Amino acid sequence: MKMKITIIIVILFIISLQAQQRVEQKLSLAQSYEQIGDYNSAAKIYEELYQMDQVNPQYINALYRVYIQLKNYAALVNILDERIKQSPDDIETYGMLGSTYYLMGNEEKAVEVWNEPFKSGKVNPIFYRVIGNYVLERRAFEIAIDLYEKGKKASEDKLIYSFDLAHLYSLTMQFDKAAKEYCLILATQPAQRQVVEAKIFETINRPGALDEMIKAIEDCSDKNNLSYSFILARLYSEKKDYQKAYEIYLYIDEAQSSKGTELYNFARQMFSEKEYKLAADIFKKITSEYPDSPINSQASLGYARSLEASLFQNYEKTIPTWKKFFPFKKFESTQTKEVLEAFNVIINLYRHSEPAYESILRSAVIKFYLLNQYDEARKLLETIVKEAPLSKSSADAYLELGNIAVIEGKLDEAGNDYNQLFNLMNASDEQKNKATYKLAKVNFFRGDFDEAKKNLSKVVTNLKDNSANDALELLLLLNPQMNDSSNLVTYSQAEFLAEQKKFSEASELYKKLADNKQAFVLHTISSIKYAEMLIAVDNYTEAVVVLEAVSSEGEKNIYADKAVYLLGKINQYGIKNLSKAEEFYQKLLADYPKSIYTEDARTQILTLQNKPGT
């Protein structure tokens, strides 16, 4: 008897297992149809499964998904209504049913259904968020806001709803209300400041958001809660009201006894925003107010660097940056002495430190480029590489030593300086690439074309490098099938003279090649280079003649687009015939749409069109 019972149980178990397997296979097949978008086939199988087990929420959810896709709303309403009758406490079903009515265009009925679970006295507040998810699925933001407000009122944990409400208020352009929700969060949990800050800054670029956020947070701000202060300071910075931001950071720094740390971070931000005067004032404030601060040396360097940046900003206004070549001229400015003195303070006060060696480097750069004091600049740079070859400034020091040597015509010395950089463990890839390109040019100037090609081949492997385009151009010229060696030697000599700012001498050699039509590629590029030498010495009349001859050849000359571009530049900045300049830029866009100069040409056209008198 027992054996028979056991066999029956086993048989029943096997039958049950097989039935379950068939159900799982059907479910898997339906899900596959749904994934590929065959909703009709999926619906048929889900309907079969639902008829077999009408209380299984998995099948109801599946029918909800596919019926929504098929717009079979009537059938869906029947199923969901039946589900609610069977399980009136199933909150998800109310969400789905309301969503269905909303899609049917019956918003009033949708709202009624969504609110139905909350008519009874005691309701789990989390249910407001469950229904809210369905409301948001239909992008019914105002209805969702009403639900979340009720949920916040009913819930002990109001912050979870404040985050949701702040997001919804931002979506609906009610930024002042969003800010009030963020204020509630900060008042309750100041540690949430970074999260709140991130949320705020996701929306402030929308019209009106920044001003409304600032006003609302100003109204609810509490000075005893620094979270408000941090956010307000960032918002003021975003509005470029830097003075107000500065005042807040002063308060934060004092309240936290940070000894200038918060001010230092703000000063660095102002430096990156090119607000050099304010940056200098803040760095100076740190060194004056907190002489024992651990960041004093960095603040002193920041002060000097801010003064230097302002100095170079003024220097750049005096030089023709639109030209590729222009002579070095001593820059006369009362600022120069002030900047050098600021760097000297660091050099003497923090001897043999990173800030001191960076100050020596920056002083050398000023003496080299602004004061044209090559010997003094060299002495400073040599101090760095001799005393501190492992400092962060040593790689740039070797690069500048090489640059000075090239200007002075000392190619062996320049090559040695650039080579030294590869022995430095702290030299960056960018610095090494720059040194490699400069070495290629030194070898080219020497007439060692094979060695130059090796260097150039290394540079062009990284097309993101700033020197890559120039390296490619020079590598093309070094192709023996393109040019003969004697003409290439002449061209390299001209390039060396141009690098030394000896424009008149260089122009003679470029002209010689430009006039030699047998020089192949060198003939065409030398015409451009000859024009650039004429531009360098302000001989615009002759430069225009040369460039017009090149541009008249059209696509036969691979440098015709550059010639047109330079004609635009000469007329814009040199001759100041602005209407003519615009004509050339327009010609460049029309005739050479794929030129590398088109982007700047468009920019210059917009500038000229917005300029009075053009």
The pLDDT assigned to 5 comes to 58
CA–chain centroid gap for 220, Å, is 33
Which domains are present in the chain? 71-156 (1.25.40.10), 157-239 (1.25.40), 485-609 (1.25.40.10)
- Indicate if the pLDDT at residue 26 is higher than 90: no
Mean pLDDT (whole number) for 16-42:
73
- Work out the pLDDT band at 17, boundaries 50, 70, 90: very low
Spatial neighbors of 248 by CB under 8 A, at least 6 apart, are 229, 232, 233, 236
- What pLDDT does 11 receive? 52
Average pLDDT over residues 428-455: 93
**Tokens 């008829």 identify what position?**
51
pLDDT of 469 reads 82
Q: Is 105 left (phi over 0), alpha (psi -120 to 50) or beta?
A: left
Residue 252's pLDDT band, with cuts at 50, 70 and 90, is: very high
| Cα angle for residues 394, 395, 397 (degrees, 5° grid) | 60
Per the structure block, which two tokens stand in for 545?
Answer: 């003649």
With tokens 């008249």, the residue in question is 552
Average pLDDT over residues 235-262: 94
Which pLDDT score is estimated for 614? 47
Cβ neighbours around 200 below 10 Å, total: 23
pLDDT at 203: 92
The tokens for 45 are 């199988």
Asked whether residue 353 carries a pLDDT value surpassing 70, the answer given is yes
Task: Answer for the pair 500, 409: CB distance below 8 angstroms, yes or no.
Answer: yes
Tokens encoding 387: 């005393």
CA distances from 217 to 189, 214, 234, 271, 609 (A): 15, 5, 12, 27, 42
Task: Report helix, strand and coil shares of the chain as percent, to nearest 5.
Answer: 75, 0, 25
Q: Could you tell me the pLDDT band of residue 9, with boundaries at 50, 70 and 90?
A: low
Q: Which of 21-30, 244-253, 451-460 is least confident? A: 21-30
Q: Please list, in sequence order, all residues whose beta carbon lies within 8 angstroms of the beta carbon of residue 198, skipping any fewer than 6 positions away.
A: none
∠268-428-271 over CA atoms, to 5°? 10
Task: Name which residue leads in pLDDT, 54 or 164.
Answer: 164
**What is the per-residue pLDDT for 482?**
63
Handedness of CA 589, 590, 591, 593 (dihedral sign): positive
Cα distance between residue 135 and residue 4, in whole Å? 57
Rounded to an integer, the average pLDDT of 512-520 is 86
Q: Is the pLDDT of residue 401 over 60?
A: yes
| Residue 590 CB coordination number (10 Å) | 9
Residue 521 to residues 90, 128, 296, 460, 516, Cα–Cα distance (Å): 81, 75, 57, 20, 11
Query: Span 102-118, mean pLDDT?
Result: 89
pLDDT above 90 covers what percent of the chain?
Answer: 64
Confidence band of 99 (pLDDT split at 50, 70, 90)? confident
DSSP class of 39: H
pLDDT tens track for 567-600: 999 999 999 999 999 999 999 999 999 999 999 9
Section 224-235 average pLDDT = 94
Q: Give residue 21's pLDDT band: very low, low, confident or very high (50, 70, 90).
A: low
Element containing residue 254 per DSSP (H, E): helix 242-256
Residue 10 pLDDT > 50: no
Q: What is the pLDDT of residue 489?
A: 92
Cα separation, 53 vs 239, whole angstroms: 60
Q: Quote the CA–CA distance of 367 and 436 in Å, as a whole number.
A: 25
pLDDT at position 142 is 93
The full DSSP string for 368-398 is IIIS--HHHHHHHHHHHHHH-TTSTTHHHHH
pLDDT at 409 over 80: yes
Average pLDDT over residues 196-223: 93
Q: Quote the mean pLDDT of the chain.
A: 90
Residue range 22-26: mean pLDDT, rounded: 73
